[in-house]
Structure 1
Amino acid sequence: MQATVLHALETRVQRDGARPLLTWYHPESGARVELSAVTFANWVDKACNLCGTLGVDDEPVLGLPLVFDHPGHWLSWVWVFAGWQAGGRVVVAPRDELGMVDLAVLGPEHPVPVPGVETVACSLHPLGLGFGRPLPGVTDAHEILSEPDVHLNGAAPAEQVWWTGSREELTGAALAGLAPVRGRSLVVASSPEVMLNALVGALVGGGSLVVVDGSAPDDRVEAIATAERAAR
């Protein structure tokens, strides 16, 4: 079987799991969150298991307006990997352009059900906390934390379409073939495609990624790169 990015994540967890994989900055709030490969993979496992709890774990199609609207947030990418690990694919599109999906995952702006679709909403709290109030007809993504830490071995064929974005479709093999990123690098999360390339590149190349989520002046970005010893 051809290698996929899921295999790269599993290998990273086994060989170098404690080292930072993704360090997330939100300059507007001053928040910083660091995720090792082990921690990131654990969130992915829990999100994948939540898909099963919601009955959408059989090669599901996950519609992710969350990623379209918030490409820089670390939780967006937990859901991308959860969809892959469940043997399905992800569709990155606005809420009103999703088409036929099995599960929709939204950000905090409009946390109401997508008609006819199981819906999850994310508060985007830096630490993954919930909304703190009921969301009628919607599952709070905070429910991830109540899911077991059971890892499902992602065995989706590498030739299967995994990612449908604004410009292209990518298979598992194509994703694993993205340019590797070695060392510690910084990316300003300007689009889902930019983040996809950077995060997958860090995984397949053994690198570590610093993500600037949202707008920030260049001197602030440069200061983050210096503090994190990350190349731009």
Structure 2
Amino acid sequence: MAHNTITAALLAAVTDYSQPMLTFYHDGTGERTELSAATLGNWAAKTANYLRDEAGIAPGDDVLIHLPEHWQTAAILLGAWWAGAHVHTGAGADDVAHLSVAFVTVDDVDRYDADEVVVASLDPFALAVKDLPIGVADFGSAVRVHGDQYSPVGIPAGPALDGRSVAQVLDTAAAHAADNDISAGTRVLTTRPWHDANGVIEQLLAPLAVGASLVAVADADPAKVEAKATAERASVRR
């Protein structure tokens, strides 16, 4: 079945919404955050509702997501796609004529010209970034008040990720999963980056697109990877 958004395809691959979809570690900070498909879907829905109802995003609008690997980044990606946005990573964003929304870290708050600038705290509990400049929104605060269910309406086929269509992204993700023995029910651990388009497709989307679950480790301590893989019952390690 064809899907008009990447997010719809990922959620359609879920067989049990109570099971972990994304488990995020950051070895530098000690963070471990586990999100079921239901929880990640709720954050994505809140983001999509914010983009449509508050930021005024229409399908096809250009949205920048220039963030490192984090569960918030995954939620923002899924929310933006659900709203029908054309997502741009940091690479190549300077060539975009008009950015409707830019999701960035606090260090990049002045870097991009967009109608709306939203700072992701990258806090394990999505706690707010304090003392932001006037006109700059905090991700957790902005989306938390929005509904955790989303019903996309009239999303036409169009570019989804740095010029790639929904079909191209999903086909590439599925092919990468097949090449790496990832299938439904597989538990995948990756220490590889996914802050650009290729990384997002290969490291984040490939497992989720086929119904696998992902353990993503940022700033990985090589001495701890094996123990994490064992504890998380990951049969594929990357």
Aligning the two structures, in what range does the TM-score lie when normalised by the shorter sequence?
Answer: 0.7 to 0.9
Deviation at 1:38, TM superposition (A): 0.8
Q: Say whether 1:75 aligns with 2:69.
A: no
Deviation at 1:130, TM superposition (A): 0.9
Equivalent residue for 1:203? 208
Q: C-alpha distance in 2, partners of 1:217/1:129? A: 25
Q: C-alpha distance in 2, partners of 1:210/1:115? A: 34
Q: Say whether 1:189 aligns with 2:199.
A: no
Equivalent residue for 1:42? 42
Deviation at 1:94, TM superposition (A): 5.6
Q: C-alpha distance in 2, partners of 1:83/1:150? A: 14
Inter-CA distance 135–95: structure 2 relative to 1 (3 Å threshold): farther
Q: Secondary structure at the match of 1:29?
A: coil
Equivalent residue for 2:134? 136
- Contact 1:62/1:91 (CA < 8 Å) preserved in 2? yes
Q: Which moved more, 1:126-135 or 1:148-157?
A: 148-157
- Contact 2:27/2:221 (CA < 8 Å) preserved in 1? no
Q: C-alpha distance in 2, partners of 1:31/1:139? A: 24
Root-mean-square deviation (CA), in Å?
2.3
Unaligned 5+ segments in structure 2 are none
Identity of aligned residues (%): 29
Inter-CA distance 127–43: structure 2 relative to 1 (3 Å threshold): same
**Mapping of residues 1-232 of structure 1, within 5 Å:** 2-3=2-3, 5-12=6-13, 15-59=15-59, 60-66=61-67, 70=68, 72-93=69-90, 97=94, 99=96, 100-112=98-110, 114-142=112-140, 143-153=142-152, 156-158=155-157, 160-164=158-162, 169-177=163-171, 178-179=173-174, 180=177, 181-182=182-183, 183-192=186-195, 193-214=198-219, 216-230=220-234, 231-232=236-237
Instruction: Report runs of 4+ in structure 1 exceeding 6 Å deviation.
Output: none
Deviation at 1:32, TM superposition (A): 0.1
User: Amino acid of the residue matched to residue 194 of structure 1?
Assistant: G
Unaligned 5+ segments in structure 1 are none
Report how many aligned residue pairs link the two structures.
Answer: 221
In the superposition, the TM-score normalised over structure 1's length comes to 0.85
